[in-house]
Amino acid sequence: MKYALRRILVTFPLLLAVSLVVFALTDALPGDAADMRFEKHPAAKEQWRAERGLDDPFVVRWLRYVGGVVTRFDLDRSYLDDEPVGPELSIKLQATFELTACALFLAILIGITVGILSAVFPRSPVDYAANLLALCGISIPVFWLGMMLIVLAVNVFDFGFSSNRYDPDLDVGGFATHLFLLESLVRLRFDVFLSCARNLLLPSLALSTIPMAVITRMTRSSMLEEMGKDYATTARAKGLPATRVVLRHILRNALIPILTITGLQFGQLMGGAVLTESVFSWPGLGRYIVDNGVEARDTPVIVGGILLVATMFVLVNLLVDLLYAVIDPRIRRGT
């Protein structure tokens, strides 16, 4: 309990520091969206800057921003039209979350299965093939793979998909969230689910290659290490079936390093999705940050967007650390 509490408390100063870094980075941005907006009215720009408090010292602006986020979940307003950027960022975050979750699901499913097979049959064709694929997975640029998948899908498989999240003809009026894949399942709207799944398939496949490669390698080495230990020999010597030994005894102990690497990959994916989103024109957070934030120099979009992704990353790693304690009591006791 003490471990969990300490681990949770450390998260707050970390997030504060993260917001400071993002704020400082965007403060250095040469010019902003308002330059264009008030191109012909320099006087109006001065007035607008004064109203928004943009001429205040850096520390004042940062504290005001953090205050707004903490007390009102307010991520500031756009420099383009003074509309709050929070709602749009939240929609994009949900799109990216769904894409990332699907990619990670594929990566875990295939990565752990192949990793186990490689460890159980070392130096077999399966092992060599898995190793080769894992090497390709970490060597091929995601955005190139995405484009090749599009070319393949369109020319060879005649697989139709669009860059929308679902078929625009479908009615999703009653949906409470923008996690369409999940919510359509809960609401038993299989038409929406299939449409979403179809559009998600290629981007999540492209995005899953790196984590899949990493998880496969980690599973293999972690399983191999555990297999040589005494308890595994004991279990086999007792005459337990091989499958049971591998899945119930060895896998359970091999799971901790796999879990760590998966948590780290999830965070990297949330950000790394920006390339996949760009290739597939997927309306996600990364692409929104680059197109509407960096390209248009709309600072609040950049700050808010990166802060959201970093917060997710930090929270997922916190969750993984807490999960360890559940799996491994030694960590709980801090020994």
Would you tell me which residues interact with other proteins (CB under 8 A)? Answer: 14-15, 17-18, 21-22, 25-26, 28-30, 131, 135-136, 138-144, 147-148, 150-151, 154-155, 217, 220-221, 267-272, 274-275, 278-279, 286, 289-290, 293-295, 302, 306, 309-310, 313-314
284 contacts 92 by C-beta, under 8 angstroms: yes
The minimum distance between CB 10 and other proteins, in angstroms, equals 9
Task: Name the nearest CA neighbour of 170 among 153, 194, 138.
Answer: 194
Strand, coil or helix: 192: helix
The minimum distance between CB 311 and other proteins, in angstroms, equals 9
The minimum distance between CB 166 and other proteins, in angstroms, equals 22
In terms of CB distance, is 194 or 224 closer to other proteins? 224
The minimum distance between CB 51 and other proteins, in angstroms, equals 25
112 contacts 215 by C-beta, under 8 angstroms: yes
The minimum distance between CB 145 and other proteins, in angstroms, equals 8
206 contacts 171 by C-beta, under 8 angstroms: no
In terms of CB distance, is 246 or 301 closer to other proteins? 301
In terms of CB distance, is 193 or 280 closer to other proteins? 280
In terms of CB distance, is 86 or 267 closer to other proteins? 267
Task: Name the nearest CA neighbour of 300 among 49, 76, 87, 32.
Answer: 76
243 contact partners, CB below 8 Å, separation of at least 6: none
Q: How far is CA 111 from the centre of its chain?
A: 17
Q: Helix H segments across 281-298?
A: 285-288
Per-residue CA distances from 137 to 15, 105, 148, 214, 321 (Å): 32, 16, 14, 8, 27
In terms of CB distance, is 29 or 242 closer to other proteins? 29
In terms of CB distance, is 27 or 191 closer to other proteins? 27
Task: Name the nearest CA neighbour of 206 among 262, 276, 278, 134.
Answer: 276
The minimum distance between CB 135 and other proteins, in angstroms, equals 6
Cα–Cα dist 277/97, whole Å? 12
